[in-house]
Structure 1
Amino acid sequence: MKAILVLLSLFITSILTAQHQPNLDVERIKAEVTINDTLRSISGEVSIYFHIKSAVDSVFFDAQNFKSINLNQFKFNYNSEKIIFYHHFKPNKSYKINLSYQAKPKQTLYFTGKLGDSEFPLQMWTQGQGKYTSHWLPSLDDMRDKIEFDLTYTLPSRYKLVSNGSLKRKTEHLNLSTWEFDMQQPMSSYLVAFAAGNYIEETQNSKSGIPIHNYLPIQDSTKFKSTYTYTQEVFNFLEQKIGVSYPWQNYKQIGVRDFLYAGMENTTCTIFSDEFITDSIAKNDSDFVNVEAHELAHQWFGNLVTETSAKHHWLHEGFATYFSYLAQEHLFGTEFFEHQLFTTAESLKLRSDQGKGQRLLNPNANSLTFYEKGAWALHALRNRVGDKVFFEAISQYLVNNAYKPVETDDFLAEVQSLTKVNLAQFKQDWLLQKSFPAKEAQLILKESPFIEQLFELKALRERPVSEKEKQLKEALLSKHIDFFGPEVALQLISDKNLIEPELLQLALQTNHLKTRQVLIKNLNKIPHQLQLSFEELLSDESYLTREHALLKLWLNFPKKRNIYLKQTKGQDGNIHLNIKLLHLMLSALTNPDEAYQPVKDLVSFTGSKMPYQIKRQAFVYLFQLNYFDEESLINLSEDLSHPVWRYRSFVKQLFTEILKDDAINNIVIELLNNDKIHNRSKLKDLLKK
Structure 2
Amino acid sequence: MKFLCIFLISSLAFAQQARQLQYVDFKTANASLSFDVPQKKVMGTVAYEFEVLKKKPDTIYIDAKNIRFSNVKINGKTAKWTASANALKLYKGYRRGKNKVEFRYEATPKQTMYFVKDGADDQIWTQGQGKYTSHWLPSFDDVNEKVVFNISVSLYGEYTSYTALSNGILKNIEDSVSDFRVGKHFYYKMDKPMSSYLVMVAIGKFRKWKMDSAGNTPLEFYLRHQDSAKWAPTYRYSYEMFNFLEEEIGVQYPWGIYRQVPVLDFLYAGMENTTSTIFSQDFVVDKTGFNDRTYTNVNAHELAHQWFGDLITAQSGRHHWLHEGFATYYALLAEQELFGEDHFYYELYQMAERLQQAAKTDTIPVLNEKASSLSFYQKGAWALHVLREGVGHDAFRTAVKAYLEKYAYKTVTTEDFFAETNKVSGYDTEAFRRRWLEKPGFEIEEALGLLKKNDFMGQYLELGNLQEKPFAEKKELFKNILESKEFYPVKEEVLFQMAEVPFEEKAGLVRIAMESGNLKLRQAVARTVTTIPPQFFEEYRSLMDDDSYITKEIVLNVLCSKFPDRQAHFLDASDTWVGFNDKNLRILWLALACSAKDYRPAQKEAYYAELQDYASDKYESGVRTNALANLMYLGKPDTVMMKNLVNATTHHKWQFAKFGRESIRKLLKKKGYRLYFQELLPQLTDAEQRKLEAILAES
Q: Bigger shift: 168-177 or 280-289?
A: 168-177
Partner of 1:316: 323
Is the counterpart of residue 264 in structure 1 residue 267 in structure 2? Answer: no
> Are the aligned partners of 2:128 and 2:199 in contact in 1 as well (CA < 8 Å)?
yes
1:338 to partner: Cα distance: 1.1
> Are the aligned partners of 1:56 and 1:90 in contact in 2 as well (CA < 8 Å)?
no
Matches within 5 A, 1:102-113: 102-113=106-117
- C-alpha spacing 1:677/1:671, structure 2 compared with 1 (3 Å): farther
1:357 to partner: Cα distance: 4.6
How far apart in 1 are the matches of 2:71 and 2:142? Answer: 24
Q: Which residue identity does 1:172 align to in structure 2?
A: D
1:78 to partner: Cα distance: 1.2
> Are the aligned partners of 2:251 and 2:405 in contact in 1 as well (CA < 8 Å)?
yes
Query: Per the alignment, in what secondary structure is the counterpart of residue 417 of structure 1?
Result: helix
Partner of 1:83: 88
TM-score, L = length of structure 2: 0.93
CA RMSD of aligned residues (A): 1.9
Partner of 1:159: 162
Q: Which residue identity does 1:159 align to in structure 2?
A: Y
Partner of 2:172: 169
1:678 to partner: Cα distance: 5.2
5+ residue gaps, structure 1, are: 1-10
5+ residue gaps, structure 2, are: 1-7
How far apart in 2 are the matches of 1:572 and 1:58? Answer: 58
> Are the aligned partners of 1:206 and 1:235 in contact in 2 as well (CA < 8 Å)?
yes
TM-score, L = length of structure 1: 0.94
Is the counterpart of residue 460 in structure 1 residue 466 in structure 2? Answer: yes
Partner of 2:454: 448
How far apart in 2 are the matches of 1:486 and 1:162? Answer: 43
Query: Per the alignment, in what secondary structure is the counterpart of residue 146 of structure 2?
Result: coil
Query: Per the alignment, in what secondary structure is the counterpart of residue 323 of structure 2?
Result: helix
How far apart in 2 are the matches of 1:683 and 1:621? Answer: 21
Q: Bigger shift: 163-172 or 515-524?
A: 515-524
How far apart in 2 are the matches of 1:327 and 1:509? Answer: 31
> Are the aligned partners of 1:671 and 1:677 in contact in 2 as well (CA < 8 Å)?
no
Q: Bigger shift: 65-74 or 23-32?
A: 65-74
> Are the aligned partners of 1:130 and 1:141 in contact in 2 as well (CA < 8 Å)?
no
How far apart in 2 are the matches of 1:241 and 1:422? Answer: 24
Partner of 1:203: 210
1:320 to partner: Cα distance: 0.4
- C-alpha spacing 1:530/1:210, structure 2 compared with 1 (3 Å): same
- C-alpha spacing 1:126/1:675, structure 2 compared with 1 (3 Å): closer
Partner of 1:334: 341
Matches within 5 A, 1:177-196: 177-196=184-203
Partner of 1:4: none
- CA deviation vs aligned residue, 1:595-643 (integer Å, no higher than 9, x gap): 3221111000011121100000101100110124232222221111211
1:169 to partner: Cα distance: 0.5
Query: Per the alignment, in what secondary structure is the counterpart of residue 443 of structure 1?
Result: helix
Query: Per the alignment, in what secondary structure is the counterpart of residue 85 of structure 1?
Result: strand
Query: Per the alignment, in what secondary structure is the counterpart of residue 248 of structure 2?
Result: helix
Q: Bigger shift: 557-566 or 474-483?
A: 474-483
Which of these residues, 657, 667, 671, is aligned with residue 658 of structure 1?
A: 667
Aligned-residue identity in percent = 36
Q: Which residue identity does 1:564 align to in structure 2?
A: F
Partner of 1:639: 648
How far apart in 2 are the matches of 1:554 and 1:13? Answer: 55
Matches within 5 A, 1:389-538: 389-495=395-501, 499-538=505-544
How far apart in 1 are the matches of 2:693 and 2:504? Answer: 51
Partner of 2:253: 246
1:279 to partner: Cα distance: 0.6
How far apart in 2 are the matches of 1:378 and 1:13? Answer: 32
Which of these residues, 364, 372, 392, is aligned with residue 366 of structure 1?
A: 372
How far apart in 2 are the matches of 1:58 and 1:358? Answer: 37
Query: Per the alignment, in what secondary structure is the counterpart of residue 501 of structure 1?
Result: helix
Partner of 1:278: 285
1:17 to partner: Cα distance: 5.5
Query: Per the alignment, in what secondary structure is the counterpart of residue 420 of structure 1?
Result: coil
- CA deviation vs aligned residue, 1:337-388 (integer Å, no higher than 9, x gap): 1111121112222223x25353110111111111111111111111111111
Query: Per the alignment, in what secondary structure is the counterpart of residue 424 of structure 2?
Result: coil
Report the count of equivalent residues.
Answer: 673
> Are the aligned partners of 1:131 and 1:142 in contact in 2 as well (CA < 8 Å)?
no
Matches within 5 A, 1:489-638: 489-495=495-501, 499-591=505-597, 593-594=601-602, 595-638=604-647
How far apart in 1 are the matches of 2:447 and 2:175? Answer: 58
Which of these residues, 313, 317, 327, is aligned with residue 306 of structure 1?
A: 313
Partner of 2:52: 52
> Are the aligned partners of 1:200 and 1:221 in contact in 2 as well (CA < 8 Å)?
yes
Q: Bigger shift: 431-440 or 518-527?
A: 518-527
How far apart in 2 are the matches of 1:675 and 1:189? Answer: 37
- Displacement over 3 Å in runs of 4+: 11-18, 67-70, 88-91, 494-500, 521-524, 591-594, 661-664, 673-678
> Are the aligned partners of 1:65 and 1:80 in contact in 2 as well (CA < 8 Å)?
yes
How far apart in 1 are the matches of 2:687 and 2:10? Answer: 35
Partner of 2:4: none
How far apart in 1 are the matches of 2:283 and 2:12? Answer: 44
Q: Bigger shift: 168-177 or 242-251?
A: 168-177
1:518 to partner: Cα distance: 2.8
> Are the aligned partners of 2:498 and 2:506 in contact in 1 as well (CA < 8 Å)?
no
Q: Which residue identity does 1:127 align to in structure 2?
A: Q
